[in-house]
Amino acid sequence: MERGVAVRETVKDAVDTILAYTVGRAGGAPGVVAMATDRSGNFYEGAAGVRELGKPQPMTTDSVMAIFSTTKAITGVALMQLVEEGKVSLDDPAGRYVPEIDEIMVLDGFDAEGQPRLRAPRSAITLNQLMLHTAGFSYEFFSHDDLKYRTARGIPSIVSSTFASIRTVLLHDPGERWTYGVNIDWIGKVIEAVRGKRIGEVFRERIFDPLEMVDIGFELTPAMAERRVTIHSRAQDGKLTPLPELTLPQPPEMELGGGGLYATVGEYMKFIRMLLNDGAGPNGRVLKPETVERMARNGLGHLTSGGWETSIPSLANSGEFYPGIRKTWAYTFQVNEEETPTGRPAGTLMWAGLANLFYWIDRKHGIGGFWGSQILPFQDVASYPGFIDFEAAIYRELV
C-alpha cells in the first residue's frame, strides 16, 4: 500500500498533535516515540517530550528504551527458526531441553501458616504451551498467588534477570487455560540449550544482522547508554517521579527472552516490517512465509486470552486491551478476532511492554506501528490512551 506525500503529511499532522497532547496535557507522559510502517519503510516517525523529567535532553526517535515484553516476539521467531530447521517440534516436552522445568509444581493453595501446598502437574509442559502461555506460569505482578509463592519461597523478582526468577510455580495444569507469565523466558532457555550459546548471540546472528538491527541488545553499548530513556513511576495521585537508577542488570545473569532487551523504536520497526514481508529482510530471509502464517494464527482453539489483574499496583494497573473484543493468542502475539474500535482488522497481531510500550502488526493492510514510553505502572493513564489515539489516527487517514 503506497503512501502518497499528501497522505503522509496528513498522518504526520495528526500524530504529531497526538504526541504533543500526550506529553503536554496535565499529568501527561514525560516523553514518547511513535513510528508507523508499511511493507517498504516507515511512513511516520515522531518524538515528543523529554527523556527524563527535570532534565533538558529531548526525547528523540533514536532514544533507547527497555522494551520489556515486546522482546517476546523476537524470542518466538528464534524458536520458530529451530522448528523450521527440524531441531525442535512444538509438541516436544520442554524438559527434554531444560530439565529444570520438570521440577516445577502446581500450586494447590496455601496452608494456615501461609506455606504453599504443591502437587505434580498432570502432564509435562510442551514448547507449544510455553509459546501460547497455557503452561500455567504467571508473573508476580499479575497474580496474588504467584507473588505469595515467591515471597514464601524467597524467589527473586523477574526484573532480577536471573534463572531463579523463572523457577516458580504453575497456577494450573498445563494446557488448561491462558495465563500470561514467564513462559517465553523458558523458551529462551530452550533456544540456548539447542543452539549452545546465549540467546543474545543467537538473536544477533539470525535476526538482528539479517534485519540490520543495530541499537538493540540485552546489554547497553556505551552509545545506547547515552541515549537511554529514564523509567518514571506514576503515583496514585498522578505525580511522576524519575527513576534514573532503575535498569535491568548490566550484564544480566540470564538474558530474558520474555522481556530483557533494550532497543530504539526504529530498530523494532525493522522486525515488524520483516513480519509484514512474510519473513523477508534486507539481508536475507529470517523466516519462511508459511512459518509467519503459522505464527499469526490463533493457537488457543476454544480458549481466549483476556485481561490481567494487578498484584503490584506500582508495576501494573489492572486492565485489558479492547474489552468485549474476542482475543486469542498466536506464536507469540495477542490476536483480536474482531475489528477493534480503532479500525484494526480482525486477525491483527499485537502486544506490549511493561513500561507502556505497545505495537501492532496488521498483515492484511501491510501496516504496523510502535508506541514507546518508559512509565510504570503498565497501562498508564496518559501513555496508553495516546497509543489508542495514534493507532486510530493511522487507520482513519490510511485505510
Residues catalogued as catalytic: 69, 72, 180
* C-alpha distances out from residue 308 to 87, 241, 285, Å: 34, 25, 36
How many whole angstroms separate alpha carbon 326 and alpha carbon 341?
13
Note the Cα 129 to chain centre separation in Å. Answer: 17
b vs e for 44-68, b when ≥16 Cβ sit within 10 Å of the residue's Cβ?
Answer: bbbbbbbbbeeeeeebeebbbbbbb
Q: Whole-angstrom Cα distance, residue 113 to residue 111?
A: 5
Q: Which three cell numbers stand for residue 235?
A: 503515583
By CB neighbour count within 10 A (0-12 exposed, 13-18 middle, 19+ buried), where does 124 fall?
middle
Cell of 71: 522482546
Give the whole-angstrom CA distance, residue 334 versus residue 350.
Answer: 5
Contact 117, 106 (CB under 8 A): no
User: What sign does the dihedral 49-317-104-116 (CA atoms) show?
Assistant: positive
Evaluate whether 30 touches 375 at the Cβ level (below 8 Å).
yes
DSSP label of 207? I
